Amino acid sequence: MQQNTYFVSYTKDDEAWAKWISWLIEDNGHKANVQCWDINPGDDFVSKMNEFLINCNVFVPIVSSKYTESYWCGKEWANALVAEKEQNKPFIPIRIENYKITGLLSSKVYIDISDVLTSEEDATKRIIDGLFKAKERKGTFPGAAKNAGIKKPYEFPGNKTFDNPTNAPLNNLYPRYEYFTGREKELRDINTAFKDGKAVNFTQTIIGLGGVGKSQTALEYAHRHSCEYVDAIWWIHAENKTTIFNSFESFAKKAGLYLEQNLDADKLGAAIQNWQESNSSWLFIFDNVEDEDVIKPYISKNYKGHILFTSRRRELRGIYQSKTVDVDVLLPEDAKKLIRARLENDKKLIKNKTDLSELVERLGRFPLALEQAAAYIWRSQIDCRGYINKLEEKGLEPLTNKLGEPMTDYKHTVTTTFMLSYTALSEGARQLFNLCTYMAPDDMPIYFFKKQADTFPKPLCDDLSDEDALIAELYNYSLVKRTGDFLNMHRFVQEVGREQNKDDEHDWVYYCLEAAISVLPKIDVYSEKSVFVLFEQTVTHTEMIARYSGKFVADEQKAEKLGLLYQLIAAGYFNTAIYYKALEWHQKEKDVYEKVLGNEHQDTATTYNNMAVIFSKQGDYEKALEWHQKALAIRKKVLGNEHQYTATTYDNMAVDFSEQGDYEKALMYNQKTSVIREKVLGTDHPDTANTYNNMAVDFSEQGDYEKALTYNQKALAILEKVLGTDHPNTAYTYSNMAVIFSKQGDYEKALTYHQKALVIREKVLGTDHPDTANTYNNMAVIFSEQGGYEKALMYNQKALVIHEKVLGTDHPDTAHTYSNMAVDFSEQSDYEKALTYNQKALVIRQKVLGNDHPDTADTYNNMAVIFSNQGDYINALEWHQKALDIHEKVLGKDHPDTAISYSNMAVVFSEQGYNEKALEWHQKALDIREKVLGKDHPDTITSRNNIKIVRERMQTPPTQTPQLQIETQQDLPSGKKKKKKPWSIIKTK
């Protein structure tokens, strides 16, 4: 074989590829001239390059975007093109980057390995075929490379990882796991999906112990393909908003991004999205995604890199084009392969194939358990059967024994055995660790322990004055990881910890129980964003503690504490409008109190009351009254007919009757409340004033505005005298009076009273309080009534900003604002926007309140009105029917809201020319209103007028058709509703 000389031309950024390709050339019996080998200190660079060009038989440029931008490389290939033409010297480019080659180089046929940068076998074959042709593929023994001047063969650059980085991108990856086994199909699927331009949702398909390998598989992919990502590879802890924020904040700082002062998620997300759009060669790994909504702010719709998700959920909705790759426990053969690899020098220990198969199944084929089992077997020199027997005898003890310490770093779990680490800790650190094992594994707030420090045992109570030192001990033995003000502990470590503390478990769980009660927000403080954040950060941990505390139900004193914990968790879910979970925890509370305190205890009655309030919020007023009646029976028997708690039950029952449209019964129960409160609390007590306010609302709903204002004035006189003119309760009365003035058509006076309420709320509660937002909503309604739709939208927008910020985008009050904005857009004939905002409201209400809730019906009705205004009567009738079905089912056929549905359907029939049918439906509405509201109520008068208009239409030419009164079921501002005290009289013991 003739030996040729190859001039390998490259830019500094591609030196690793130049070395490897040059080694391939010399390994195949040829000579390579390359700058990094053949130019020494003192040489003339230009002269040496000229020498290489003259003496070579073949010119081989390593082509990348950096290469074509290089001045000196340009000189080299330009001269090589001349030499090819004049001296017939082959010019063979090797392309290592997938980019469009332009200019003179674009005409050259090249060897392309840009799509096989991770496969040494494929890249080698293409280069050898391209440079030497098939007949010269054999080459010489690799040792010839040394004789040719190469001191050692060079590693294939496509295999580089961050264990041996070469021009490594910005990254925060953990080291590669040496014994990674299996997952080849999953890794291929991920790579294929990325080539197709899709993101990947990487999910776990089992429930149980952690350590199945989602994160390890993602890590393996990142290392295998690290050479493909020039800009960055970043690992994001995606369990919740806080961990995601912290991960991206760290990335932004490392990437040198400009960050504004007072950084929040929106600002950080905007910076990250901009970076994603400006860079194209990067990989972001979102690890352990729990809620897709919290990661969306950090993903641009126009991102140019790759995104990989890991999650316990099979499906993540709404995250662009997402392909699912399931990761289960290891396949049986892969699990056995892992054990064999770890014990390859002691094959006698695993020679019995049946025992090996039984062992991997006994450990669930979890990679972590297999790793520790292999370590134990190797160190103790017992075989698989012996290890299985120990598991049967001692439970998890073999997995936490010193002999089970992993023989290599296993970064996603523990790096030493539990017992070895645990016994090396100080007493205070061990105590902190014990508490952590009864919490959720991820994002344990450090303040959870700090806040309750005084009640913990010594020395922990004292050591928590320097919590950083305690955490440093745990971190030092890889028992926890710290992310800002939060701790993370692997589930397996927690299980082992609980196993080792079985004898003292009762005490540690009780410490956690007391801490949970202390940390959770109290029932009446949900108004600021910080409170909602506190609940969000602690609820997963308090739920876990509640689960372990279930054994305290047999201890009366501790059981009452357990019931209180259930109550506080329920209160948090109630205030965040997750009513089904609130009900679930109140049910647990009820079971505890009924068992420990009995069916006639005041705390049991309080639980019944709170369950009733939730049913009322869900629109199930019959069930609400049923549970209020249970509470009332206890309170009357235990406390008496004239106790203030009995009055509170009457008060809440009055609200339910009012919601059902039974205003007479509502007033009757309000009157019962008033009698008790006037007698027990006095005529100047704020609770007495609250009763007057509620009575005013019922009179207002009946159209008796004068009487309503009289009761509001009674309430206002008490509140201004007792609480002062700047108290929030006084603001409620101003707001309710404003609504009545609005109903009377006195919009100026209505705005004046809303303004009084606003001044108080902004001053006392702040500009970000939900009650302040409600005032903005109420003022918007007035502006809308006056035809000032632009101003109405402006005030609704103010309310929306607060609701979304404080309550979240899935809260009913947020839906309320969307609904009101939809009405304003509709009034301006912007029906497309109106439908969009109604749809936003509908999504929330269906999700939070359910498909059969009256508020959901209101949204159906409003959408129907929009279709009607557009002349789409078919759709209008369909949506009115949806609303009517709910009203009749939930509220009954005699409810004022049902009358609204009848009236609006009549209008649609009339618009289509079906006047006989319109009369029939208007008469249905009139019958209800005369019966429930009375003959002089404004709504009753509207129905009579509509009937008159339809009759006139039947006798009037179309060009002179009078206008019907269509009744848009616009959401009522909060001031038009009674101000309930849903968490009234709950004692916090």
State pLDDT tens for residues 601-636: 999 999 999 999 999 888 888 899 999 999 999 999
Minimal CA–CA distance to 920: which of 933, 931, 911, 907?
A: 907
Q: If you average pLDDT over residues 188-199, what whole number do you get?
A: 72
User: Other CB atoms closer than 10 Å to residue 83's CB: what's the count?
Assistant: 17
311: which strand partners? 203, 289
Q: At 444, phi and psi to the nearest 5? A: -80, 120
Q: Do 698 and 663 touch, CB atoms closer than 8 A? A: yes
Write out the two tokens for 397: 């003890």
* Token reading at 370: 């297999």
For residue 313, name the pLDDT band (cuts at 50, 70, 90): low
> pLDDT at position 714, please?
95
Cα–Cα distance between 229 and 181 in angstroms, integer? 24
In order of 555, 625, 895, 897, the CA distances from 887 in angstroms are 47, 18, 8, 7
**Closest by Cα among 742, 740, 733 to 715:** 733
pLDDT at 177 over 50: yes
Comparing 316-320, 679-683, 939-943, which segment has the lowest mean pLDDT?
316-320
Which run of H or of E encompasses 59?
strand 58-63
On whether the CB atoms of residues 742 and 973 are closer than 8 A, the answer is no
pLDDT for the residue numbered 980 = 29
What does the DSSP 8-state code read for residue 983? T
Please give the Cα distance from 30 to 7 (Å, whole number): 11
- Is the pLDDT at 138 greater than 90? The verdict is no
608: left (phi over 0), alpha (psi -120 to 50) or beta: alpha
Beta bridge partners of residue 285, listed in sequence order:
235, 308
Q: How far apart are CA 815 and CA 824, in angstroms?
A: 14
Q: How do 199-204 and 111-112 pair as beta strands? A: unpaired
Q: Give the model's confidence band at 411: pLDDT under 50 very low, under 70 low, under 90 confident, else very high.
A: very low
pLDDT of residue 788: 92
327: β partners:
204
3-state secondary structure of 379: helix
Dihedrals phi, psi of 318, to nearest 5 degrees: 75, 15
Say how far apart CA 671 and CA 649 lie, in whole Å.
12
Report which of 311, 315, 309, 369 is spatially closest to residue 338, judged by C-alpha positions: 369
Distance CA 703, CA 171 (A): 68
pLDDT tens column, 896-923: 889 999 999 999 998 898 999 999 999 9
Residue 669 in tokens: 């129960």
Contact between 395 and 499 under an 8 Å Cβ cutoff? The reply is: yes
Q: Is 386 helix (H, G, I), strand (E, B) or coil?
A: helix
Identify the CA nearest to 817 among candidates 840, 835, 783: 840
pLDDT over 60 (residue 418): no
pLDDT at 964 over 80: no
Distance CA 27, CA 32 (A): 10
pLDDT value of position 969: 46
Instruction: Report d(CA 647, CA 798) in Å as an integer.
Output: 37
For residue 523, the number of C-alpha atoms closer than 13 Å in the C-beta half-sphere is: 19
- Please state, in angstroms and rounded to a whole number, the distance separating the CA atoms of residues 105 and 361: 58
CA 101 to chain centre: 43
Residue 338 pLDDT exceeds 90: no
pLDDT score of 160: 52
CA distance 562 to 542: 11
Average pLDDT on 16-29 reads 88
Task: Report pLDDT digits (tens) over 274-309.
Answer: 999 999 889 999 887 877 888 889 988 888 888 888
Binned at pLDDT 50, 70 and 90, residue 734 comes out as: very high
What CA–CA distances, in Å, run from 626 to 352, 600, 889?
Answer: 66, 16, 17
Over the stretch 782-831, which tens digit does the pLDDT of each residue have? Answer: 999 899 999 999 999 999 999 998 888 988 899 999 999 999 999 899 99
Residue with tokens 């490389």: 73
pLDDT at res. 318: 60
What are phi and psi for residue 232, nearest 5 degrees? -170, 150
Local structure of residue 91 (DSSP, 8 states): B
Identify which of 245, 179, 672 has the alpha carbon closest to the alpha carbon of residue 408: 179
Please say whether the beta carbons of 444 and 245 come within 8 A.
no
Spatial CA neighbour of 575 closest among 988, 985, 293, 983? 983
Contact 259, 268 (CB under 8 A): yes
The b/e string for 148-179 (b: 16+ C-beta within 10 A; e otherwise) is bebeebbebbbbbbbeeeeebbbbebeebbeb
CB proximity list for 729: less than 8 A, separation 6 or greater: 686, 689, 690, 719, 723
pLDDT tens digits, 228-286? 888 999 999 988 888 999 999 999 999 989 888 888 889 999 999 999 999 988 999 98
Q: How much is the pLDDT for 413?
A: 35
Strands 31-34 and 5-9: parallel
- With contact defined as beta carbons under 8 Å apart, do 667 and 707 qualify? no
Beta pairing partners, 306: 283
Q: Which two tokens stand for residue 587?
A: 């049910």
Check if the beta carbon of residue 790 is closer than 8 Å to that of residue 811. no
Whether the pLDDT of residue 972 is over 60: the answer is no
Rg (CA), the chain: 37
Q: What does the alpha-carbon distance between residue 524 and residue 733 come to, in Å, rounded to a whole number? A: 20
Per-residue pLDDT band at 320 (split at 50, 70, 90) = low
pLDDT of 550 reads 87
- pLDDT higher than 60, residue 862: yes
Nearest in space to 559 (alpha carbons), one of 598, 522, 611: 598
Over range 572-599, report the average pLDDT. 91
Question: Is the pLDDT confidence value at 947 over 50?
Answer: yes
Q: Is the separation of the CB atoms in 5 and 139 below 8 Å?
A: no
Question: Residue 21 CA to chain centroid, in angstroms?
Answer: 48
Calpha distance 156→140 (Å, rounded): 19
Look at residue 591 in the predicted model and tell me its pLDDT: 93
Residue with tokens 């059969």: 852
**Residue 973 pLDDT > 50, yes or no?**
no
466 vs 676: CA distance, rounded Å: 53
Confidence category of residue 432, pLDDT binned at 50, 70, 90: very high
Q: Report phi then psi at 512, rounded to 5.
A: -65, -40
pLDDT above 60 for 390 = yes
User: Which residue do the tokens 């397996």 mark?
Assistant: 492
- The region of weakest confidence among 96-100, 860-864, 881-885 is 96-100
Taking only the tens place, the pLDDT of each residue in 541-580 is 999 999 999 888 778 778 889 999 999 999 999 888 888 8
Average pLDDT, the chain: 83
Quote the pLDDT of residue 909: 92
**What is the pLDDT, as a whole number, of residue 765?**
87
pLDDT at 205: 28
Question: Which pLDDT belongs to residue 197?
Answer: 62
Name the residue among 782, 785, 778, 784 with its Cα closest to residue 817: 778
Q: How do residues 754-792 score in pLDDT, each as one tens digit? A: 999 999 999 988 898 889 999 999 999 999 989 999 999
CB 441 within 8 A of CB 210: yes
Tens-digit pLDDT profile for residues 469-519:
999 888 766 678 888 999 988 766 777 788 778 888 889 999 999 999 999
Least confident of 59-68, 406-415, 523-532: 406-415
Q: Where are the alpha helices (DSSP H) in 888-976?
A: 896-911, 915-932, 938-953
CB atoms within 10 A of CB 442: 21
Give the pLDDT confidence of 115-134 residue by residue, as tens digits: 787 778 888 888 988 888 64
